[in-house]
Amino acid sequence: MALDRYFAICNPLNYQRIMRKATCIKICIATWTSGFLISVIHISFTITVPFCGHNKINHVVCEVAAVLRLACIDIRLIEAVISGVGVVVLLVPLSLIIFTYLHIISTILRMPTASGRHKAFSTCGSHLMVVTLFYGTTIVMYMSPRSMISMENEKVISVFYGLVTPALNPLIYTLRNKEVKEAVKKILSRNED
C-alpha cells in the first residue's frame, strides 16, 4: 500500500506504467514468500525443542513465544534467532514504509492547493492508521524483552494485532469510499427517524 500511495502521489504521471498487474503480483509473491519462510523458521525451531510433560499453553492463540516457554531446555539462543528474524521482518518493511511516507509528506506539503493536500492526506491517513496499529503492536510483542511483558498483556497484544487490526482493515478502507459513506449516512438517518 505504501508503494501504491507513493507512486500515486509522488509520481502520478507514471502510476499506470509502474503499478501494473505484473508489479502487484510480484509484490504479493514476495510478501507471501517471506511469510512462508518466517513460518518455516518458527516451525523448524519449535519441532526440534523437547517439551516437558503435558502443559497447557496459557495463551489466546498458539504464539511461538508461548509454545517455547514450555521447553525443557535453555531457549535463549532460539529466542535470539526469532528476535533477529523479527528485526528483519518488522523493521525493514517498516523502514521502507516510513521512507516512502516521508517522501509522500514532502510532496504533499509542496502541493499548491489546500484541497489537493487534504485529498492526498486523506488518501494516506487510513493506511498510516493500519500501519501504526499493526507494527506498533507486533514490535511490542516480538521485540520487547520477555520480562517487560506480562502474560496477560501478551494475550491482549496478540489479539489486537491478530484479530482487531485485520477486522478494522475493511472498515478503515471502505469508509474512504464516497458511496459507502453515503450509505452509512442514509442508514443512520433512517435509525434517527
The CA-atom distances, in angstroms, between 23 and each of 4, 28, 35, 37, 64 are: 10, 9, 19, 21, 33
pLDDT over 70 (residue 137): yes
Residue 169: band (very low, low, confident or very high) from pLDDT cuts 50, 70, 90: confident
Tell me the pLDDT tens digit for each residue of 52-89: 777 777 666 777 777 887 888 888 888 888 878 878 88
Reference 9, options 93, 133, 110, 94; nearest CA is 110
Mean pLDDT for all residues in the chain: 81
What percent of the chain lies above the pLDDT cut of 70? 93
pTM of the predicted protein model: 0.71
Range with top average pLDDT, 47-51, 97-101, 169-173: 97-101
Instruction: Report how far residue 177's alpha carbon sits from residue 193's, in angstroms, rounded to the nearest whole number.
Output: 25
Reference 65, options 137, 161, 149; nearest CA is 149
Instruction: Report how far residue 9's alpha carbon sits from residue 171's, in angstroms, rounded to the nearest whole number.
Output: 23
For the chain, how many helices (H) and strands (E)? 10, 0
